[in-house]
Structures are given as C-alpha cells and as structure tokens.
C-alpha cells in the first residue's frame, strides 16, 4: 500500500491530551458456530497477513508464509486461514476472564496516556544500558527457547447485519522453538486445540522455509548486525512495502523481535538504539501490561489506523515487561467501533528460558 507511505512522518503524531471519558462497550454473545466477519475486514486482514509474513529479498518469492508464525497483533497459528478470524482487530479485555480461560467477553477501555517526544533518546539510552547489563540466558545447541506470556485479544464480530466487539480474556500462552526453528510447539487456548499443536517452518509446498526478519530463529538472530545504523538500514530494506509506512513497519519489526524471541545481548541493545532513530517515536509515562504491571512505554502511532503500539518497561529497572496496542483516534477498525482508549492486543512476557526437551517446563514456569 504505497499510497500510505510517508517518509516524512510527523515526529509526534499522537502527542495529544487525553480524550474525553470513554463509553463502555456492551457485551456481545458468541454464536454457536465460527465467528463471521465483514468481507472487507477479512480481505484487509488477508492482505496484512500476507504482507507481514512475506519473505524478505533473500527468500524465494514463491515461498508461502511459515506455518505457526506469530501473526502481528494476534496469536501464532499454524494455519494462516484460521488466523484471519482470530487476528481481526485484536482488542484486549482488561480485567476480563483470566486463569487460562479464553471465554468471550466485552471489550473494555483503559486510560489513554499522552505520548510525548520529550526525553525519548534519553529513555532509550537508559533501556539499552540496562539491556547490556542484564543477565543473559545461555542456550546450548539442541535446546529449545521457551517463552511464556499472558495475552489477550478481541475481534470484530459480525452476525447478520450487526457488528460488535468480542474478546478472549487474558490467558497463558506457551511457545517452544528449537534454535534452528525446525521444531516447535504452541499452547494457546485461544487458538490451539487442547494440549497445543506442532510448529514448524514447512510452507504449503512442503518446503523448509528459511528464517528472515519477520520469521526469525534463535540462530538467525545471531547473524544480524549489531551496529544500530546497519541494523535499521537492513530492517527498512527487508520490510519495504510492508505495513502502512516504512517507519511504522520498522517499529513493528523491532517490537516483534523484542517480544517473542531471544535476541543475543549485543543485538538486543542495538534494537533499542535503532528504535531511537525512527521518526515519530514517543514515550508514554504510564502504560499497563496484560498482568497489570505499570511501566514507562516507548511507543509509536500508526497514522493510518490511529492505533499506538507501546513497548512497556519497568520504570525503575527498565526491564522489558511486554507490549500493548491502544486506539488513539476515534472510529477505528473496519467497523469504526474502536474508540480512543480501546486496547488492541496486550502481552506480558512472564518467562524466557532454555529447556532441553520440547514441551518441557522450566522449574520457574511450572
């Protein structure tokens, strides 16, 4: 969508005062069958899913999206067609059903903090320094990277001629991946069958899909440049044409690498330094992750959707807590139901660890 591209985005697109009091959203009951959606909504998410999982230049253009990749603003699914229904306009039910349940409930709002460009370079410098000093997780050959989080999503749902917002409550998500990405397992009650399902890198033609920026492996991350300028240049080049603008897609790509992967120490630091070079990045002094932890956020608003993605860090230690996306502009989404303060996707990373076996739980994650 080149008509949306703007390499001269304003530096502070969401530096607005907090909006008027927000209306609560009525609860919508789920039908017995599968969720039905607008044709336009479905096509929009098919297009976005294709862009977000499209291989970069080194990958053969005929390769299909990797099964099991973590779809942007949604949840990792092994079959792209199924992800479309579950990925649509993810809106968190804050304070909704928890404890691993994914019952459908109403979409609730959260306080919408004000974004400001003031102090962003200093904040990212503190975060990068904290990242460089943080203890590192050692992953030996043959081990698996285990990441546990709490997530919540919601979707726009159409029954007959009526569209409403419905949500899955905050629930536990567990992902195992081998260092080369050849073996993996997902347990996420919102999207996987009981007991979970296998993840692999086999495309629809039965071919092994190489790793790339939007579908990385632990081994692949070790090959990325750790110079911030070179790293950002690579991100811009390999995500060209994706997303609603080059700047927003670069911010999104870095956020994905921070969230459900395990970057090497030097790369982790470089990611924050690269983010500081993206126009339009702001800070939000109070943001809340999926388990209620407050922190300071590094954020950027997508000027097309009017939604702001926030990376949330502990305000004292600058440890990464998680990510959320919150609607800033009114009448968002395909249906126009997303109002300012509606939280679109939330995730709190609660554990990253190396384990020896697929589906093995570390002692701290049992």
Dist CA 18 CA 109 (whole Å): 13
CA 61 to chain centre: 24
**How would you list the strands of the sheet with 294-301, edge to edge?**
115-116, 282-288, 294-301, 307-313, 320-327, 343-355, 144-152, 171-178, 184-187, 197-199
Domain carrying residue 168: 2-365
What tokens does 239 get? 């995500």
Those residues whose C-beta lies under 8 Å from the C-beta of residue 191, and which sit 6 or more positions away, are 75, 76, 77, 82, 83, 86
Query: CB of 92 within 8 A of CB of 154?
Result: yes
Query: Across-strand partners of 152?
Result: 346
Pick from 61-65, 134-138, 182-186: least confident: 61-65
Dist CA 222 CA 69 (whole Å): 19
Residue found by looking up tokens 């009017």 in the block: 306
**C-alpha dihedral sign at 334, 190, 219, 262:** positive
Dist CA 9 CA 328 (whole Å): 17
Q: What is the pLDDT of residues 268-295, one digit of tens each?
A: 999 999 999 999 999 999 999 999 999 9
Looking at the structure of the chain, the number of domains it has is 1
Dist CA 310 CA 89 (whole Å): 16
Query: CB of 330 within 8 A of CB of 100?
Result: no
Pick from 8-17, 117-126, 206-215: least confident: 8-17
**How confident is the model over 190-199, as a mean pLDDT?**
92
Is a pLDDT exceeding 60 seen at residue 94?
no
Q: Choose between 122 and 37: higher pLDDT.
A: 122
Outline where the chain has alpha helix (H): 39-53, 80-87, 120-133, 218-221, 228-238, 246-259, 265-275
Pick from 223, 150, 148, 154: nearest CA to 186:
148
Pick from 320, 327, 357, 354: nearest CA to 130:
320
Pick from 25-29, 290-294, 323-327: least confident: 25-29
Query: CB of 42 within 8 A of CB of 84?
Result: yes
Q: What are phi and psi of 6, to 5 degrees?
A: -155, 105
**pTM, two decimal places:** 0.73
3-state secondary structure at position 16:
coil
**C-alpha dihedral sign at 332, 79, 76, 103:** positive
CA atoms within 13 A on the CB side of 250: 27
Pick from 13-27, 137-151, 278-292, 342-356: least confident: 13-27
**Backbone dihedral region of 214: left (phi > 0), alpha (psi from -120 to 50 degrees) or beta?**
alpha
**How confident is the model over 70-80, as a mean pLDDT?**
33
What tokens does 201 get? 């890198």
Query: CB of 271 within 8 A of CB of 258?
Result: yes
**How confident is the model over 183-196, as a mean pLDDT?**
93
Q: What is the pLDDT of residues 138-177, one digit of tens each?
A: 999 999 999 999 998 877 888 999 998 888 888 999 999 9
Dist CA 166 CA 48 (whole Å): 21
Query: For a pLDDT cut of 70, what percent of the chain falls above it?
Result: 70
Distances (CA, A) of 307 to 91, 179, 329, 331: 11, 33, 7, 11
**How would you list the strands of the sheet with 162-168, edge to edge?**
104-105, 162-168, 154-159
**pLDDT attached to residue 102:** 55
Dist CA 201 CA 192 (whole Å): 17
**pLDDT attached to residue 103:** 57
**pLDDT attached to residue 108:** 60
């Amino acid at each position: 969508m080149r008509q949306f591209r703007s390499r001269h985005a304003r530096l502070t697109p969401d530096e607005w005062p907090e909006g008027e009091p927000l209306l609560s959203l009525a609860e919508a009951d789920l039908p017995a069958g599968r969720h039905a959606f607008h044709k336009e909504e479905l096509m929009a998410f098919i297009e976005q899913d294709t862009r977000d999982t499209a291989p970069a230049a080194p990958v053969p253009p005929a390769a299909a999206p990797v099964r099991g990749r973590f779809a942007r603003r949604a949840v990792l699914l092994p079959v792209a067609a199924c992800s479309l229904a579950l990925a649509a306009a993810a809106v968190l039910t804050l304070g909704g059903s928890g404890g691993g349940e994914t019952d459908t409930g109403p979409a609730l709002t959260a306080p919408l903090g004000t974004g400001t460009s003031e102090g962003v370079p200093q904040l990212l410098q503190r975060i990068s320094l904290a990242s460089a000093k943080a203890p590192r997780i050692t992953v030996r050959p043959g081990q698996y990277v285990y990441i546990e989080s709490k997530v919540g999503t919601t979707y726009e749902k159409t029954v007959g001629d009526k569209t409403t917002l419905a949500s899955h409550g905050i629930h536990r998500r567990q992902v195992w991946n081998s260092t080369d990405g050849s073996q993996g397992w997902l347990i996420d009650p919102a999207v996987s069958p009981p007991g979970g399902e296998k993840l692999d890198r086999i495309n629809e033609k039965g071919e092994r899909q190489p790793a790339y920026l939007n579908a990385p492996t632990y081994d692949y991350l070790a090959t990325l440049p750790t110079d911030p300028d070179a790293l950002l240049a690579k991100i811009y080049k390999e995500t060209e044409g994706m997303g609603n603008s080059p700047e927003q897609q670069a911010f999104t790509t870095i956020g994905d690498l921070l969230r459900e992967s395990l970057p090497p120490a030097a790369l982790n630091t470089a990611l924050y330094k690269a983010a500081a070079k993206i126009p339009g990045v702001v800070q939000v002094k109070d943001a809340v992750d999926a388990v209620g932890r407050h922190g300071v956020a590094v954020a950027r608003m997508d000027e097309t959707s009017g939604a702001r993605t926030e990376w949330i860090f502990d305000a004292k230690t600058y440890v990464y807590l998680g990510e959320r996306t919150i609607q800033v502009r009114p009448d968002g989404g395909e249906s126009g139901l997303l109002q300012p303060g509606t939280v679109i996707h939330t995730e709190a990373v609660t554990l990253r660890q190396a384990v020896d076996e697929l589906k093995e739980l570390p002692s701290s994650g049992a």
